[in-house]
Structure 1
Amino acid sequence: MLIVTVIQMRLSSWLKTQSDLISSQASTLAVEVITNMRTVKQLSMENEVLRQYSNMIDQVLG
């Protein structure tokens, strides 16, 4: 039982680290898009940015 608990704790820690990393990347992307909204619009990149952001969020929630 102790081994299972240790494995669970390590797995939970690893998953939280991965989730935090991806959330941070998604937040950075959102800030960059908002800051450069005109450029994103001029380059017609709205769908690509939405796809990237959605993929990041799906990884966290997945």
Structure 2
Amino acid sequence: MKTLLRRVINAWILWRFDRRLYRAHPQLRDRAQAIKAARRSHRKTKPLIDEQQEEMTRLLKAGL
């Protein structure tokens, strides 16, 4: 029971964090959706993931 509650709470916290982040920086959401679409169609995701990581690093250095 504790494990189930922990999973639900963690999922909710992560969802809220993503939601706030994507509202502030919608380009991150667009890129995440592009990565999902590439995975579904079996295309290469490395360039998209690298772009996403560079953008996140830039935001973190800028103080988000």
What is the TM-score when the length of structure 2 is the normalising length? 0.46
**TM-score normalised by the chain length of structure 1:** 0.47
Structure holding more helix per residue = 1
When Rg is computed on C-alpha atoms for both structures, the one with the higher figure is 1
- Greater RCO structure (CA 8 Å; 6+ sep): 1
